[in-house]
Amino acid sequence: MRTYLECIPCFFKQALDIFRLLKLSEDLQKRILDEISTFIPHFSLSSKPPEMGKRIYQTIKKFTQIQDPLREYKVQSNLVVEKVIEKLDIPSMNLADLMKLSGAGNFIDFVIKQGNVEEKELLQHLRRTLVKSFKHFQFQQFLTHLESAQTILYIGDNAGEAVFDREVIRKFPPGKRVYFAVRGKPVINDVTEREAREIKMDEVAEIISTGDETPGVLLESSSPKFREIFHSSDLILAKGQGNYETLSEVEAPLFFLLQIKCSVVARDIKGEVGDIVLIKSSKFSHHAKL
């Protein structure tokens, strides 16, 4: 997905949201926003929004001299979701329900704005989600592809949310080779190998890094190993808006599972802000057999 003009104010808002968590001085915040401003004239609307996300986060790292500014927040998110799922009857849920839950878990970065993840609030949100109707939830189509797939690439998004992803993968039919993709370097609250290992993702999938710090998947910036897995998987499930924004035009056997968080993505997907969607990519295509 390309960048729209409406994304420009949003880039600055995203930085402010991160600042709030980091409790930076106003002077430092202003200096970071000043540097972000200088990127705008060089940022083409044909770029993908997460390319700016990457630059914003690199700037925050540079000015704060912290290599993983939201590390603590990611650890806390994982812990809270572990507690929350203990209160939900996960073993009795079917795959469709777990995928809805995992889509709802994509809500984690909404909560980020308030500075902490409240267990009670999250639990309420998830319970409300499970009784909601899902307009764009192409589960049967997904299941058909899942059943015939040998190799599945599951592309993670936020820490915390990844705990739900783990439970989803646990419910996949047995005998599949599953990769769980994480960001190559810390970027915002996205799951990296470190947080994936901490929640024992490696017990249900092979963890693979994109090798890149974009909060999405830019194939041209990814490692050769990641690209190889991407191009040889029979089915790819990409979580969250960032992955949608970078992969929506890539021809691959892709499904997207996300909560729509802005009007730009809503327009692109033909959904509404707040919707949790599971959709087959409009560019869905099986990889050409080599």
Q: Contact residues for a copy of itself (CB under 8 A)? A: 5-6, 8-10, 12-13, 16, 19, 26, 29-30, 33-35, 37-38, 40-41, 45
Q: Which is nearer to a copy of itself, 193 or 268 (CB)?
A: 268
For the CB of residue 3, give the shortest distance to a copy of itself in the complex, in Å.
10
Tell me if 189 sits within 8 A of 74, measured CB to CB. Answer: yes
Q: Are 163 and 199 in contact (CB under 8 A)?
A: yes
Our CB check for a copy of itself shows the closer of 45 and 273 to be 45
Cβ count near 257 (within 10 Å) = 28
Q: How far is the CB of 247 from a copy of itself (least distance, A)?
A: 24
- Assign 3-state DSSP to the chain and report helix, strand, coil percentages, each to 5: 55, 15, 35
Judge contact between 284 and 234, C-beta under 8 A: no
Taking CA atoms, 290 is separated from 69, 114, 126, 286, in Å, by 42, 48, 42, 12
Cβ–Cβ < 8 Å for 242, 259: no
Residue with Cβ nearer a copy of itself (33 or 266): 33
* Identity of the residue, 38 or 133, whose beta carbon is nearer to a copy of itself in the bound complex: 38
Q: How far is the CB of 216 from a copy of itself (least distance, A)?
A: 21
To a copy of itself, the closest distance from the beta carbon of 115 in angstroms equals: 16
For a copy of itself, the closer CB: 19 or 142:
19
Find the shortest distance in angstroms from Cβ 27 to a copy of itself: 9
